[in-house]
Amino acid sequence: MTDQTERILELFQQINAIPRCSKNEEAVCRWIGRWAHDRDLAVRSDAAGNLVIEVPASPGFESAPIVVFQGHVDMVCEKTPESAHDFSKDPIRHVVDGDWLCADQTSLGADNGVAVAMGMALAMDDQTPHPPLELLFTVDEETGLTGAQALAPGFVKGRILLNVDSEDEGVFTVGCAGGRDSHLTLPLERGPLGLKLQRFKLAACGMHGGHSGIDINKHRASANKILARGLDTLWHNGPFQLVRLAGGTTHNAIAREAEAVLVMDPARMDEAVSAVLALEQALRFEYRQTEPNLSLLLSPTDGDGPGEAVTESGTRTVIDLLLALPHGVSAMSADIPGLVETSANLAVVDDSKGPLKILHSKRSAVMSRLAAITADMNAMARMAGASVETGTEYPAWEPDMASSLLDRCKTVYQKRFAAEATVEIIHAGLECAIIGSKYSGMDMISFGPTMENPHSPMERLYLPSISRVWDFIAALMESYRPQPQQEGP
């Protein structure tokens, strides 16, 4: 492991010692601000909490253009069912597994804490000459790029942006999908529980989850969709009433767990358990390559919860809506083989506060297709009697294949590693889309070290890729050294 890799990992561990779930970044931003002040680096922040740290140019680079080195400080906070981790106060515990770094039963937060650590390491390194830098560290990226959306004119001066939020070393990202969140509210009519009815819990768990953009085409099961199929199967063996329903955690993660509490005649238990078991076996066959631990279990429960249940007709409406709402890949790109163009994520369902609340997230590289899949979802919601409010939305980042920054990066990578970098467009949201719309003339590219399974407890970072990304960054910085002017004849 190189000295720079060790420094980056040490900084990353310090970042991970501070709770930083989305919308809870104040403490880590204060810590970064103190770090900058201790090194006499100018810092500015805005009302949203975004930071810019100015790093003066190395000697000889004073006339070079300002380079913006950008990452986000927040993370998606996911943990396994057995984990007792408290994201509001506990540090993320690092675990080294061979060449991989992961966390102890939680998401790692390498997305995107490793970018922040790399930017800080670059500012600290006297051996890596560089042009003037702006370290742009944004907040609240994971809930809808809201930190980037709050950036004001003039907050960033540079017009060369290095976004270090991609997840495959040797790949340059030059475009991304746009996205839109929708919040559905379905009123639920409830009544007292029948005296002869018994509570049961239907739990869908054991699924991988993952990033709802880059993992949406990996045939991973949505626990919310699996739960809906389980409820539908139970219904065909006789009506029942829902007491409670919950699944998923955030808009950009595929739901890993979901459960429903329901009431029905206990005399039906054996028949119902057999029906659920048969469905579980069918699901395990469907997902035999990707979800070996998928579980769908019906069991009696005493449990806590309201002493009332949703009416039978209301229960059927809930099931129908969850079955009908789109989830997964909707369309593949007609222009780029293998690229997902449009998708949807049935992200979160929850009726704990009375009505059923559903968070539904959609992505597309074609904004008219994003509007179309939104219209489909809105129609389904209306037919069920639900209202819809649009939440966070952001545009697609249209690729510029003639970008001078892209050409420079490809040339530097080829010279440094004697290999061609891959250039791609991804089916995920990147802050480049927002930043480019706010600052005209911004030349942008995204790259980063290799990681897998972000937004899940299986998230892990490939350690050897850190040094390769660092070597590329160092060579890229050197490429901005101003050339001495030739004297005239």
Q: Which of 74, 125, 280, 459 is catalytic?
A: 74
pLDDT of 258? 98
CATH number of the domain within which 454 lies:
3.40.630.10
Residues 408 and 334 placed together within one structural domain of the fold: no
Q: Which of 346, 367, 394 is the last residue of a domain?
A: 394
The answer to whether residue 395 scores a pLDDT higher than 80 is yes
Least confident segment among 25-29, 44-48, 389-393? 389-393
**C-alpha 263, offset from chain centre:** 35
Quote the domain boundaries for residue 381: 180-394
Average pLDDT of the segment spanning 414-425: 97
Q: pLDDT per residue over 280-295, tens digit each?
A: 999 999 999 999 999 9
165 within some domain: yes
329 within some domain: yes
Higher pLDDT, 392 or 116: 116
Residues 133 and 216 placed together within one structural domain of the fold: no
74 is known as an active-site residue: yes
Residues 368 and 472 placed together within one structural domain of the fold: no
Residues 294 and 430 placed together within one structural domain of the fold: no
Tell me the average pLDDT of the chain: 95
Q: Which amino acid is at 404?
A: S
Residues 314 and 441 placed together within one structural domain of the fold: no
The 8-class DSSP code of residue 411 comes to H
**In this structure, are residues 465 and 476 in contact, taking their beta carbons and an 8 Å threshold?**
no
292 within some domain: yes
pLDDT of 486? 61
pLDDT of 483? 84
Q: Which of 338, 362, 394 is the last residue of a domain?
A: 394
Residues 328 and 185 placed together within one structural domain of the fold: yes
The answer to whether residue 306 scores a pLDDT higher than 80 is no
Residues 432 and 419 placed together within one structural domain of the fold: yes
Residues 206 and 256 placed together within one structural domain of the fold: yes
| Confidence band for 305, pLDDT divided at 50, 70 and 90 | low
Domain count, the chain: 2
Q: What are phi and psi of 232, to 5 degrees?
A: -65, -40
pLDDT of 489? 58
Residues 381 and 427 placed together within one structural domain of the fold: no
Residues 13 and 156 placed together within one structural domain of the fold: yes
Q: What are phi and psi of 102, to 5 degrees?
A: -135, -170
Average pLDDT of the segment spanning 320-325: 98
The 8-class DSSP code of residue 397 comes to B
| Confidence band for 415, pLDDT divided at 50, 70 and 90 | very high
Sign of CA dihedral 85, 89, 91, 92: positive
CATH number of the domain within which 308 lies:
3.30.70.360
Give 319-377 as a DSSP string: HHHHHHS--EEEEE-SSSTT-EEEEEEEEEEE-TTSSEEEEEEEEESSHHHHHHHHHHH
The answer to whether residue 360 scores a pLDDT higher than 80 is yes
Residues 271 and 372 placed together within one structural domain of the fold: yes
Q: Which of 141, 142, 291, 431 is catalytic?
A: 141
**In this structure, are residues 4 and 125 in contact, taking their beta carbons and an 8 Å threshold?**
yes
| Confidence band for 193, pLDDT divided at 50, 70 and 90 | confident
Q: Which of 374, 394, 414 is the last residue of a domain?
A: 394
pTM: 0.86
141 is known as an active-site residue: yes
| Confidence band for 232, pLDDT divided at 50, 70 and 90 | very high
Distances (CA, A) of 294 to 207, 215, 258, 279, 289: 5, 17, 12, 11, 11
Residues 169 and 188 placed together within one structural domain of the fold: no
